[in-house]
Amino acid sequence: MKQRTIKKTINGVGIGLHKGEPIRFTLQPLDSNSGIVFYRTDTGTYIEAKPENVVDTRMATVIGNDGKSVSTIEHMLSAIYAFGIDNLLIKIDASEAPIMDGSSTSFCMMLNETGLQELDAAKRVMMLQKEVEVRDGEKFVKISPASTLSYHFQIRFNHPAIGFQEYGFEFSKQAYLEQISRARTFGFLKDVQMLRAHNLALGASLENAIVLDNNKIINNEGLRYNNEFVRHKILDAIGDLRLLGMPYIGKYESFAGSHHLNHLLTKEILRDAENYKIVEASEISDMQLARVYA
């Protein structure tokens, strides 16, 4: 199986979660071994999507270079991973990626519309060789050796609409589109009010997030999945781990994981070369990967 990019350039526009302003972006094909690269058209700054460029993880995953940054990239990267895209240039005219509807489904629709093309170079895959774990009290994220890629996530919130939730699935593009891509980000009304007092979350609305008051979900349409909250955590994790730079094979597990813990996990994986080996796709099974990304 070869590396992939998109067939043609495609343009989009959306609202920024924090500034609440329109953001224009362009997805453009890139050659083999280029990776995923963001380009701030308003500042002329290139920022590669890799762990060493992560500059903040408090409210979203933020990458930066030369004092310029792009935040809230995890939903876009999640869709890019699901489509098996290895090389892509993302031109953007702001310091944050658009929130769209709070999930990755809009980005998936764009990628489906533009189509994919194979390049000359072989696809590289990271195979986990050792269990790698990062903990913060009872919270943890870990990834273990396995023959397939799977995710299992647990969360617990002291809120009647969430409580304890868990979800797991074996990754494939089709499973992602059906089970994960439509899961929206969520937040609490009291937090949104506090953030807006600091000129943040100005673009947050019932159109791009699940919003909860002290007792219930206030979105009229309700949930897209009965456990949409934990499914969105998996969506985020897939996007965060895309910063490893290639597809990976392993078993990802988490309780109350976060952007910060996912970032620490990518750093810990890459810290020791004995944690993984990088192989060409043909060394695994082209047919197996072809099914995953069909």
**What are the catalytic residues?**
259
How far is Cα of residue 17 from the mean position of the Cα atoms in its chain? 16
Q: Do 242 and 265 touch, CB atoms closer than 8 A?
A: no
Token pair in block for residue 131: 């269990």
Q: Which residue has the tokens 């060789």?
A: 129
Angle of helix 228-241 versus helix 259-271 axis, rounded to 10: 40
The residue written with tokens 């947050």 in the block is: 204
Answer whether 88's CB lies under 8 Å from 171's CB.
no
Q: Record the tokens describing residue 36, joined without a space.
A: 């995923």
List strands edge to edge, sheet with 139-144.
132-136, 139-144, 251-255, 150-157, 163-170
How far apart are alpha carbons 120 and 31 in whole angstroms?
9
How do beta strands 186-188 and 68-70 pair?
unpaired
User: How far, CA to CA in Å, does 274 sit from each of 76, 130, 132?
Assistant: 30, 7, 11
3-state secondary structure 202-269: CCCCCCCCEEECCCCECCCCCCCCCCHHHHHHHHHHHHHHHHHCCCEECEEEEECCCHHHHHHHHHHH
Two tokens, residue 254: 């988490």
